[in-house]
Every structure is written in C-alpha cells, then in structure tokens.
Structure 1
C-alpha cells in the first residue's frame, strides 16, 4: 500500500519536469494518490504538456487557478469537483513570483507596486489557497507550501526574501485557524535547486555556489527529489500532530554557523 493511497490532492506550480511540484505530483501518483493540477493563462499549455509526463494511463486534469483572481479562488472547489474529485485531502502551494526589479540587489530601489505583487503572489496566496480549498477538505488534511529559509538576508533575494518571511508567518496563522478543522499547515524549506524559478532570480548563483560545501550531508542542486519526498510525507497520515512547522531539506545548512 502506497504512502498516499486513496488521497486526493491538488498540486499547484507544475511548469517544468525539473520543478519540486512536478516531482511531488509524480511521487504522489506513484504512492497511490489521485491528483489534480492547477495553472492559468499561457502557463496552462505548459502544465498540460508536463502532466502527460506523469505516471498513469491518463494525465491528471488541470484546473484554472490564478491566485490573484478572486473569481478563480471562489470557483476552485467547483472546478476541482468538475475535474472528478469530490474532496481534497491535501493541497500543495508551489507558487511564488517577484518582479526582477525587486530582486538582484534592488532592495532599496524596489517600488511598492512591484513589492505588492511579490507579497500577493508569494505570501497572501498561501492563505487564499487554503481558504479556497477548505470547502473540499471536510475530513481535514494537509496544506504544504515551499519556502527558502527566511531567517537570513540572502544575497540578491531581496523582497522575495521578505515575501518568504511573510509566508512563514502566514503558515503559523493558517495552522492556528485551520487546525480546528483538522487541517495541518506546514512548509518545506528547500536548499537551492536549479529550477525555472531559481533561474529567474538575478545573481542566484551567489546563493547556491557554496551550498554543497556548507551542507553536512552534501547537496545536489540538480534534483528536487529529496524535497518532493518530504512534501509527500507531510501530505500523508504520518504527521498527524504536526502543524505550523517548517521542515528543512537543505543538507543541514540551516543548522550550521557561517
């Protein structure tokens, strides 16, 4: 019996087959889960194409969800039902974006309009997704998001780092407010991985260069597998009393001194 046998999951953020979201979806299906993906706009074609690379005879359905759209959020439960799932046992929030004008050394020059975009997409959307999925999580379940350790001021990360700090705080409050419904809310803090999101950060190589040497367990920047396994575990029934937590999957760098 698979770790996620019988689970019904919504997974956001599948845009390439190197992403954490893609590998989470693959593992979830291999472990017995039924999966629905979400996407929107021009990205919908990408998500649908990569869905075909996931295991199974039929690709997972893809529902429309722009997390900045009140209409999409209000219609999420109906969209998931129309895609064939009558409930959700877990949701994966793999969503983040900040304009390049507020990263890459532009912290002091960042304008509010661009900062607001980063905070809405990367921080507020976590709460928005949890609330939108809640009507389908009648038997409880898990919301799992992705962060990049926000206790430090990383080179070039700038306002995205601030957005991740907000995400980590939002996770604690969401855990508080959804806990009575039996919904656990946790984040996975991954080390740097060569994903599309990472490549969009100006100067990202400054953040990742020394990671393998600093990590007691070492660190392979070319694979999302360890992170995806942790996300899958948090979606399972094996963490029944864990919520408001940040699980680090970074080779141990978070625990080391500079």
Structure 2
C-alpha cells in the first residue's frame, strides 16, 4: 500500500527528543514513503541518538538557522544526500529565559531580537536556503509550527509576539512563493510536554486551559496528532491551501467563554 508521501524528499528541523512534534512528523513521513534528512543545533549528537529510533536510518546535519555560513552550505549538502526537496518542516523556536515567565515588561531588546530571529525570521531564511532545491515546475510545501498568537498566554511573554511574527512571515512567504507553486502553512498545536515547553517557566499554568476548554480530550503527552497534521500539509492532499494556520489543539482556538 502506497503512502501519501511516496517519493517525497523532506527536510525536518527540530528533532530533539522522542516527545518532539518533529520526531513524530519524521516517523510518520518515513512510514508514508518519504525520504528525509534531519537538521540539528546546537547538539547534532543528541539528534543522531534520537534518529536511531526512526523506522529508517537518516542523515543528520548541523544547522544553526541564524548562521549564514550554515544556510549557505545547506543546498549542497541536501542535494548530495537527496538530490532535491519537495518539502520542509520548520520546527524551531527559542527565546532567552529573561524573555519568558512573567518578565515581559522588563525584557531587553537583545533578548527580544534573539527570539524574533530564531523563531520567526528563520522561517524565511530557511525557506530561501532550500528554495533552489525545490523544482520550479513541481513546487513544494513549507510547514511551520506555531502556538496560537491571537492571545496573550500566561508565562509565554515574548514568544507570543515572536509567534505572531512567524504567522505573518508565513503569509508573506505564501504570497511571494505561490507563483512557484510552493505552499506555506502552519500547524498551531496545543500544549505538549516537549523540551521547548519545559523551557518555559510556569508552563503548567498555561497548559491547564486545555483541561477545561478543549472539546476533544487533549493529551499533553501525545505529539502524534500534530505530527500527522504536519505530514498532511507536506503531502499533495492540500494542493491549493497556502497561507493557512491549521489548528491541532483539540478545538480550544474556537471556544468562547
């Protein structure tokens, strides 16, 4: 039986732990027929260890999305490994500790700038680094990860504006890359017990919202639904969907009081 990613070549960032959404996206992508390549920073050895738990062996390359030299060599490394790309997953976000946990009013611009560069601007820089690898006649799919930026969440602080910038960046990429048949969409996932979540002080307070407001039962220990959403957007099953945010959050995003 063929998979929905048969013959697709996909670059996946953000595989840090088995609990990472990116790990589950990579696993499902392989099960659905894709060839994948993983990127890692700052510890490629950590990702290499986790990658051994995937169904098939895959290459891991070091990539700091704020490093122009790393971005500049990405095309050659990926072309040598896969020949080209049909899609990529941007699962990257970071804010210094003084930009999180209730410190919004006191965060210095240097920390805000770091959060914006790593979490938002990098969607553009990574996509542009991969652009020459995507055949013009076929196009491709760019998928990123957000956490609903319509709201001010407890403890999330400057990651909120960074995600809002990511969502806007996705729309502008969708506008400018549409003529090349490249779709750009985001998955807005509910809270999960990933490494990224654990780095946010007081994250449990934020996650409690899902206990009372999610129409569908939400399991913070299960990243697979979000991984499935990523794979669906990487496939050809959404051929005319771009600039969109697909919520995989149990329905919390649409609930009123």
**2: distance between equivalents of 1:193 and 1:61?**
26
Which SS does the other structure have where 1:68 is aligned?
A: coil
Q: Which residue of 2 aligns with 1:108?
A: 105
TM-score, scaled relative to structure 2: 0.97
List gaps (5 residues or longer) in structure 2: none
Q: Which residue of 2 aligns with 1:248?
A: 247
Aligned-residue offset at 1:64: 2.1
Deviations 1:3-57 (A, max 9, x none): 111100000000101100000000000000000000134x10001111111002x
**2: distance between equivalents of 1:249 and 1:111?**
33
Which SS does the other structure have where 1:238 is aligned?
A: coil
Deviations 1:217-248 (A, max 9, x none): 12111110100001000000000000000000
**1: distance between equivalents of 2:181 and 2:13?**
21
1:36 aligns with 2:37: yes
**2: distance between equivalents of 1:210 and 1:89?**
37
1:48 aligns with 2:48: yes
**2: distance between equivalents of 1:148 and 1:40?**
21
Aligned-residue offset at 1:65: 1.0
1:91 aligns with 2:88: yes
Moved beyond 3 Å, runs of 4+? none
**1: distance between equivalents of 2:67 and 2:209?**
39
Q: Which residue of 2 aligns with 1:125?
A: 122
Which SS does the other structure have where 1:207 is aligned?
A: helix
Deviates more, 1:248-257 or 1:72-81: 72-81
Aligned-residue offset at 1:213: 2.1
TM-score, scaled relative to structure 1: 0.97
Instruction: State the Cα RMSD in Å.
Output: 0.8
Q: Which residue of 2 aligns with 1:177?
A: 176
Aligned-residue offset at 1:170: 0.3
List gaps (5 residues or longer) in structure 1: none
Contact 1:64 1:79 in 2 (8 A): no
Aligned-residue offset at 1:168: 0.3
